Amino acid sequence: MSVVVITGSAGMIGSEAAEFYGRLGYKVVGIDNNMRQRFFGPEGTTEWNLEKLKGKLGDRYEHFDADIRDLQQLELLFQSYREHIELIIHTAAQPSHDWAAKDPFTDFHVNASGTLNLLQLTRQYCSEAVFIFTSTNKVYGDRPNSLPFIEQESRWELEAGHPYYNGINEDLSVDQSLHSLFGASKLAADVLVQEYGRYFQMKTVCFRGGVLSGSKQSGVRQHGFLNYLMKCAMTGEAYTVFGYQGKQVRDIIHSSDVIAAFHAFFLKPRRGGVVYNLGGGRESSLSVLEAIELAQQITGNRMAYGYSEAARTGDHIWYITDMAKFKEHYPEWRLQMRVQQVMEHIFIDNKDRWA
């Protein structure tokens, strides 16, 4: 019996991973206590997605309503499966800048201490397993905002020929920038994952994601930009654009392409705490204004949206991912879904839920 342990298994990336490995015949052990509902209220619940996951996988999936901050609870699980665990995918997190500022202790203990618990248990009980951490581009803080952007009609851009025109790579400094408390706690976890890989020569990897999206997400105002925007377009809920004239740019990657990247690393893992930026790249990027226009085209609805001059603290003006390093190491990986397809999938898959 080969086991994959997934934290945040009822969330978008976690459930996508659970389905993927369940279909491959692995025993999937999921850890999720629906803390997203505590963070964001009833609309943030992942219960609906967990029930779908259980229905799809049946006895290939075993669920633990556990808190990753609870070392004793986690240790019982790792003890039970110690001889069978081949892969740990750690997606559980407190994901919101705004929420972190309200409760920095919970944010840090979930994001940093929870990650430390999982790393230490992996080292203790299954040190040859692959450990994949879903990190974030927020580890770079607001450093990308120092780039020389040019204002265009619907987006901010870099001049062709700029070193980062095709995206930001892993060489960008994480120091001397404003991260938000969420970015700081995720950076602490990111460095721990690297250090366990380097110091103990474990097979650990940080994937620094941009906008990870898809229909399995419970998008809310504070987190899940594209999913929440589509929800507003479909339901008529008012949407607010925060700062930068709505011209801030993001690249988008679908959850299935994220898991394909994870699996490529799992099949050919590297030791030493590798770091990869992960996103849709220039080919799958858009501004908030462009996203609103595309959402209106897809849904056939005019969106009700307003504008606030107050940009979110530490928010990126422009972020496109350069995946050259990952593609060099794993040339078999290809982006399968661009941003319009992602939005169309969100629309089709959530028609009944958001009716």
Mean pLDDT score, 300-325: 92
- Give me the residue label for tokens 């969420």: 182
pLDDT at 214 over 70: yes
CA 54 to chain centre: 22
Determine contact, residues 29/64, Cβ cutoff 8 Å. yes
What per-residue confidence (pLDDT) applies to 223? Answer: 75
Cα dihedral: 214, 174, 89, 96 (round 10): -50
Q: Cα(315)–Cα(312) distance, rounded to whole angstroms? A: 5
Distance CA 327, CA 349 (A): 30
Name the pLDDT band for 251 (thresholds 50, 70, 90): very high
Decide if pLDDT at 221 tops 80.
no
pLDDT value at position 158?
98
The overall average pLDDT reported for the chain is 95
Q: Give yes or no for residue 222 having a pLDDT over 80.
A: no
Mean pLDDT, rounded, for 72-86 = 97
pLDDT of residue 209: 97
Q: How far apart are CA 199 and CA 105, in angstroms?
A: 27
Q: What is the pLDDT of residue 312?
A: 82
| Residue 355 scores a pLDDT above 80 | no
Enclosing H/E stretch for 22: helix 12-23
Q: What percent of the chain has pLDDT over 90?
A: 90
pLDDT above 70 (res 348): yes
CA geometry: angle 31, 33, 35, nearest 5 deg: 125
Kindly give, in sequence order, each residue whose CB lies less than 8 Å from that of residue 140, ignoring residues fewer than 6 positions away. Answer: 168, 172, 173, 174, 177, 208
Q: State the average pLDDT over residues 267-294.
A: 98
State the pLDDT confidence band at 269, using cuts at 50, 70 and 90.
very high
What is the spatial distance between Cα 62 and Cα 80, in angstroms, rounded to a whole number? 12
List, for residues 38-70, the tens digit of each pLDDT value: 888 888 899 999 999 999 999 999 999 999 999
The pLDDT > 70 percentage for the chain reads 99
Structure token pair of residue 289: 């204004």
Please report the pLDDT score of residue 98 as a whole number: 87
Q: Please give the model's pTM, rounded to 2 decimal places.
A: 0.96
58 conformational bin, left if phi > 0, alpha if psi -120 to 50, beta if neither: left
Structure-token match 């040019």, residue found: 150
Give the CATH architecture of domain 3-349: 3-Layer(aba) Sandwich (3.40)
What pairing do the DSSP bridges indicate for beta strands 249-254 and 285-287? antiparallel
**Contact present, 148 and 281 (Cβ < 8 Å):** no
- State the pLDDT at residue 340: 97
Report the Cα 190 to chain-centroid distance in Å: 13
Q: What are phi and psi of 235, to 5 degrees?
A: -105, -15
DSSP-derived secondary structure letter, 283? G
Q: Which residues contact 352 (CB under 8 A, 6 or more apart)?
A: none
Q: Tokens 């530490």 belong to which residue? A: 314
- Residue 190 contacts residue 132 (beta carbons within 8 Å): no
pLDDT in tens, 6-27: 999 999 999 999 999 999 999 9
Measured distance CA(227)–CA(216) in Å, rounded: 9
Question: What tens digit of pLDDT does each residue of 94-123 get?
Answer: 998 889 999 999 999 999 999 999 999 999
Does residue 153 surpass a pLDDT of 90?
yes
What is the H or E stretch that residue 156 is in?
A: strand 156-157
pLDDT at position 138 over 90: yes
Higher-confidence residue of 220 and 118: namely 118
